[in-house]
């Protein structure tokens, strides 16, 4: 199902934006993309990180046309190139296939194996949906998803995604800049961080009936990170609604950080004074921190972070500082000891 509300956002940004602005935005994304890539992650004693599984998924190749998760149909072969050919060449890196993006997932609410989220999320209902805005803002409230999205201009954004587990993908997301939401809800000077929370529905999310993690899944950003133009609230991928396994109906994308910062199925965004206690930091503070910036210089205790494996490729690539987005985000961390603030 393509997102079909009657918003400007329903069409590709190339169709709604004056060409000069559009070209500039594209070159911004291209600059943001210049470099190399990846994202990843994985828990302590839990072991969802099986790179052999990645190889299996990749070798099967795209199976466009298949429906997975909540039945969002895959874009047909002939549609994908038409919409994304330009973005692919700008990034200079091939997009991962629909099949790879929607069947090789981390979403512990549906299980710990990479194939669990696509297999176990069929009962999850991402609509109707409400998003709560709370904390130090002038405009708190509970918004129906449609009202939450309505004022925003949606965009396609092709980003690298690097998991702390040392695998990566290139994904064509669809969403709007988080900074636009921040501006809209008017944080007060007391707001220093954002805390974002996933829905709790054990009846629809079998993983939440286990104690593999403490629920709900929580993530957070510093206010300046939330206002960085790269931070995106995504509602779609490959031009269709997010499938359940990718975080329907709303998730965070911060491409310079490890993938675990990308909290899925968000129901609450709280503007707070204190640094939020994000799920993986709380689960294993020795291995995970709050910032989770992609950093090839700082190894995870169980994975070297110097190289990564792009799903679909055999050879490992070098991991770039901030996942290749240093020019856009590096200044936010000037003077910080990035070996300490992992």
Residues 117 and 107: beta-carbon distance below 8 Å:
yes
**303 near ligand MTE (CB under 6 A):** no
**109 near ligand MTE (CB under 6 A):** yes
Of the pair 16, 267, the CB lying nearest ligand MTE is at 267
Binder to ligand MTE among 131, 158, 163, 311 (CB under 6 A)? 163
Minimum Å distance from CB 16 to ligand MTE? 26
**198 near ligand MTE (CB under 6 A):** yes
Rounded to an integer, what distance in angstroms lies between the CA atom of residue 189 and that of residue 180?
A: 17
Residues 60-99 that bind ligand MTE (CB under 6 A): none
Rounded to an integer, what distance in angstroms lies between the CA atom of residue 132 and that of residue 137?
A: 12
**246 near ligand MTE (CB under 6 A):** yes
Of the pair 191, 263, the CB lying nearest ligand MTE is at 263
- State which residue has the least CB distance to ligand MTE: 259
Minimum Å distance from CB 75 to ligand MTE? 16
Binder to ligand MTE among 9, 17, 70, 106 (CB under 6 A)? 106
Residues 44 and 284: beta-carbon distance below 8 Å:
yes
Minimum Å distance from CB 234 to ligand MTE? 9
**228 near ligand MTE (CB under 6 A):** no
Residues 158 and 26: beta-carbon distance below 8 Å:
no
| Paired strand residues for 168 | 162, 310
**108 near ligand MTE (CB under 6 A):** yes
Q: What kind and span of H or E run contains 224? A: helix 223-226
What is 143-165 written as a DSSP string? EEHHHHHTTSPPEEEEEEEEETT
Closest CA to 159 of 167, 169, 148: 169
**# chain residues binding ligand MTE, by CB under 6 A:** 17
Residues 253-272 that bind ligand MTE (CB under 6 A): 259-260, 262-265
Rounded to an integer, what distance in angstroms lies between the CA atom of residue 325 and that of residue 194?
A: 21
Residues 82 and 57: beta-carbon distance below 8 Å:
no
**Residue 165: how many other CB atoms lie within 10 Å:** 28
Judged by the rule CB under 6 A, the positions of this chain that interact with ligand MTE are: 40-41, 105-109, 163, 198, 217, 246, 259-260, 262-265
């Amino acid at each position: 199902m393509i997102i079909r509300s009657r918003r400007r956002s329903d069409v590709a940004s190339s169709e709604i934006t004056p060409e000069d602005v559009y070209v500039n935005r594209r070159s911004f994304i291209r600059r943001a993309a210049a470099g190399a890539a990846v994202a990843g992650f994985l828990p302590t004693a839990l072991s969802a990180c099986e790179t052999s599984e990645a190889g299996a998924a990749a070798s099967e190749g795209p199976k466009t046309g298949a429906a997975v998760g909540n039945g969002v149909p895959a874009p047909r072969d002939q549609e994908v190139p038409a919409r994304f050919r330009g973005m692919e060449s700008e990034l200079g890196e091939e997009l991962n296939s629909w099949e790879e993006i929607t069947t090789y997932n981390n979403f512990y609410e549906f299980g710990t194996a990479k194939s669990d989220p696509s297999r176990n999320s069929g009962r999850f209902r991402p609509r109707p949906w409400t998003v709560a805005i709370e904390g130090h803002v002038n405009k708190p409230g509970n918004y129906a998803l449609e009202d939450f999205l309505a004022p925003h201009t949606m965009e396609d954004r092709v980003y690298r995604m690097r998991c702390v587990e040392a695998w990566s993908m290139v994904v064509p997301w669809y969403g709007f800049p988080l900074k636009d939401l921040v501006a809209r809800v008017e944080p007060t000077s007391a707001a220093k961080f954002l805390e974002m929370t996933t829905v709790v529905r054990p009846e629809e999310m079998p993983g939440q009936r286990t104690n593999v993690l403490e629920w709900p899944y929580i993530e957070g950003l510093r206010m300046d990170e939330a206002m960085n133009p790269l931070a995106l609230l995504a509602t779609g991928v490959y031009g269709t609604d997010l499938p359940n396994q990718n975080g329907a109906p709303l998730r965070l994308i911060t491409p310079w950080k490890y993938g675990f910062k990308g909290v899925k199925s968000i129901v609450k965004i709280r503007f707070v004074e204190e640094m939020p206690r994000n799920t993986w930091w709380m689960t294993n503070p020795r291995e995970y921190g709050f910032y989770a910036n992609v950093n090839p210089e700082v190894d995870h205790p169980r994975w070297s972070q110097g190289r990564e494996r792009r799903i679909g490729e055999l050879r490992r690539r070098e991991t770039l500082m901030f996942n290749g987005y240093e020019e856009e985000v590096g200044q936010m961390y000037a003077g910080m000891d990035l070996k300490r603030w992992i």
